[in-house]
Amino acid sequence: MFYRASLQAAAALASLSLLAGCGLLSDSSSETDQQIAVGTTSSPSTLDPAAAWDGSWELMRNVFQTLVSFPTGTMSPEPDAAEDCQFTDSTSMAYRCKLRKGLKFSNGEAINAEAVKYSIDRIVKIKVKGGPAGLLGSLDRVETKGDDTVIFHLSKADATFPFILATPAMSLVAPSEYPADKIRDDGKVTGSGPYVLESYEPGNKAELTKNPDYKGFANRKNTAVTIRYFKDSAPMVDALKKKEIDATYRGLTAEEVVGLEDNKKDNAGLQIVETVGADIRFLVFNPKDPAAGKPAVRRAIAQLVNRDALVAKVYQGTAEPLYSMVPKGIAGHTTSFFDAFGDANKTKAKEILTEAGINEPVEMTFWFTTDRYGSSTAPEFAEIKRQLEDSGLFKITLKSAPWKTFQEGFTKGEYPVFGRGWFPDFPDPDNFIAPFVGKDSVTGTPYLTAEIDQQLASSRQESDRGAVAAQFKKAQEILVEDVRLLPLWQGKLYVAAGEDIGGGERALDPQTVMQMWELYRKASW
């Protein structure tokens, strides 16, 4: 009913147990005064799910609830606020969910079918540019039956729809506190998740306490969580060593990971949990820019970028070269960009430009964000600049901005070339292609291509998600021809924590979002 067998090809994502240092124990201590502090360099850009299609999901997963979700150890959606969900037809065009009994929001408001419909409808109505409305392209309408049943009628077959409902963007919100036609911006949250947001200081910290009225799958192993937001990873690691925080997630540089793993003497009492990741980094080219809009310029850059050197110099084994928008471990992964361009080659790049009548160095500006993907982003772009300029074919200016400003800039089409990272909404190849194409591309630059649309439509009729490789191979061949998107590397994920903290190996769900409730302080022994 939830296509459990369909994600076998993505099973690599479930391997979460490569440990360094003291092994994590499965026995949790008493919940009494179990307060955990977690550090991250990825702070929310919004507290409203209707506007969130980014790292804001980290907080949302812990304070909101979705109809279906990913309990630890699963790779397909299971009931959460819902008691049961299933497609009602063989064409994957009507999806019905029945709610659990007695659910309510943190303000005491009942969670019923109308509240679910309201939560989803406002995403579509508000339609924040670059926001999660793009995930609901197959949704036609939401119907309610009684107080406890919701039916999602789709305009076309979409076997991925249960996975979309499992994303934090589809969080249920209290109708009385969230406007139907605009984003809530008072810095507060009214949800029904495992925790209640007691206080929030943007860019500084979020205080979470156990929600006494929560009914869902999460087995909370602590009573409260403080999430501290750091602008840079160095002070975050320093706070971990000083035991000011118990664990870190998002933002560790390669040097810091290697240092924590290798230098046991200076890092006694700490551990690293390595997770097989599906997060990717790529460049986005704005077709309206005078230079980036030229296919020859984009192809020349694709011919020059040396991913091996980039990964070796900047990421020191904590990432690997990526030649496909679909990463390893996901059905449909290919090496299409390597097949087309091979190794970095200055001579071939020059030939591409010369054939297009471009004989002078191309001047371009590359943008990146300073506080979303970790402190390695700046040296990464410095290395890309070095590679392109060493060819004598380009003159690159680097510019950067904090995520909120950066996001506003690229959604307005202001940047010629910019770097994006992508953490999967769900572990399926569709999620590494569909968000970046179409009129409402999450990149902010519309990418209209009928051929890719056809491949996506064909794949969504297939409930066995391991059997869609052919459609995604074709889609990626089109991406290579256009070079509107240029994949760079695929990362690994790391949780650094004190040796007295358990649960790190279970804390990351298939969306690579941290489930804070899995963390606990082990009993003294």
Place of tokens 């191979």: 473
Structure tokens at 441: 């591309």
Q: Which residues pair with 85 in a beta bridge?
A: 97
Residue 362, beta-bridge partner list: 394
pLDDT for residue 302 is more than 80: yes
SS3 call for 478: helix
Average pLDDT of the chain, as a whole number: 89
pLDDT of residue 10: 37
Residue 513 reports pLDDT greater than 90 = no
Q: What is the pLDDT of residue 48?
A: 98
DSSP code string of 30-98: --TT-EEEEEES---S-S-GGG--STTHHHHHHH---SEE--TT-SS-EESSEEEEEESSTTS-EEEEE
pLDDT-wise least confident of 34-38, 195-199, 371-375, 492-496: 371-375
Query: To which residue do tokens 């290395």 refer?
Result: 383
Classify 359 in phi/psi space as left (phi over 0), alpha (psi -120 to 50) or beta.
Answer: alpha
Residue percentage of the chain with pLDDT more than 70: 93
pLDDT at 54: 86
The span from the CA of 237 to the CA of 256, in Å, is 8
The pLDDT of residue 17 is above 80: no
Alpha helices in 248-313 (DSSP H): 254-262, 295-304, 307-310
Q: Which residue would you say has higher pLDDT here, 483 or 331? A: 483
Give the phi and the psi of residue 234 in degrees, each rounded to 5.
Answer: -60, -50
Helix (H, G, I), strand (E, B) or coil at 434: helix
pLDDT at 2 over 80: no
Kindly state the helix (H) or strand (E) to which residue 139 belongs, with its residue range.
strand 139-145
User: What does pTM read for this prediction?
Assistant: 0.75
By three-state DSSP, how is residue 206 classified?
strand
Residue 11 pLDDT greater than 50, yes or no = no
Confidence of residue 278 (pLDDT cuts 50, 70, 90): confident
C-alpha–C-alpha distance, residues 401 and 403, integer Å = 6
Q: Give the count of beta carbons closer than 10 Å to the beta carbon of residue 390.
A: 12
Helix H or strand E segment including 383: helix 377-390
Question: Residue 525's pLDDT is what?
Answer: 45
Q: Residue 424 in contact with residue 278, Cβ under 8 Å?
A: yes
Nearest Cα to Cα of residue 286 among 399, 410, 373, 130? 410
| Tokens at 242, concatenated | 């000083």
pLDDT at 9 over 60: no
What values do phi and psi take at 447, rounded to 5?
-135, 90
Sign of the four-CA dihedral 265, 277, 136, 69: negative
Decide: helix, strand or coil at residue 14. Answer: helix
Which H/E stretch holds residue 63?
Answer: helix 57-63
Query: How open is the CA angle 66-227-45, to the nearest 5 degrees?
Result: 65
Q: Which residue has the tokens 């390669």?
A: 254
d(CA 207, CA 189): 12
CA distance 430 to 138: 13
The pLDDT of 280-287, averaged and rounded, is 96
Token pair 């050197």 in the structure block, residue: 309
**Residue 332 region, left (φ>0) first, then alpha (ψ -120 to 50), else beta?**
left
pLDDT digits (tens, 9 = 90+) for 444-462: 888 999 999 999 989 988 8
For residue 51, give Cα distances in angstroms to 57, 94, 135, 407, 515: 10, 25, 12, 12, 21
Angle at 450 between CA 295 and CA 418, to 5 degrees: 40
Q: 362 and 296 in contact (C-beta within 8 Å)?
A: no
User: Left (φ > 0), alpha (ψ -120 to 50) or beta: where does 467 sit?
Assistant: alpha
CA distances from 82 to 36, 99, 101, 253 (A): 29, 4, 9, 39
Q: How confident is the model at residue 32 (pLDDT cuts 50, 70, 90)?
A: low
H or E stretch at 69: strand 68-69
In three-state secondary structure terms, 409 is helix
Looking at the predicted structure, is the pLDDT value of residue 29 above 70? no
Tokens read off for 497: 């924590």
Confidence class of residue 317 from pLDDT cuts 50, 70 and 90? confident
Closest of 427, 422, 507 to residue 75, by C-alpha? 427
Q: What is the pLDDT of residues 211-248, one digit of tens each?
A: 999 999 999 999 999 999 999 999 999 999 999 999 99
How buried is residue 247: exposed, middle or buried, by Cβ count under 10 Å (0-12/13-18/19+)? buried
Question: Which two structure tokens, joined as six digits, stand for 179?
Answer: 């406007």
Of residues 40 and 461, the one with the higher pLDDT is 40
Tokens of 372: 């979303």
Q: What local confidence, expressed as pLDDT, does residue 501 receive? A: 96
- pLDDT tens figures, 65-118: 999 998 877 778 899 999 999 999 877 899 999 999 999 999 999 999 999 999
Section 17-23 average pLDDT? 34
Q: What is the pLDDT of residue 524?
A: 57
How do strand 247-249 and strand 362-369 relate by DSSP bridges? unpaired
pLDDT in tens, 110-146: 999 999 999 999 999 999 987 899 889 899 999 999 9
Residue 413 has pLDDT above 90, yes or no: yes
Distance separating alpha carbons of residues 148 and 277, to the nearest angstrom: 37
Q: How many CB atoms lie within 10 A of CB 171?
A: 27
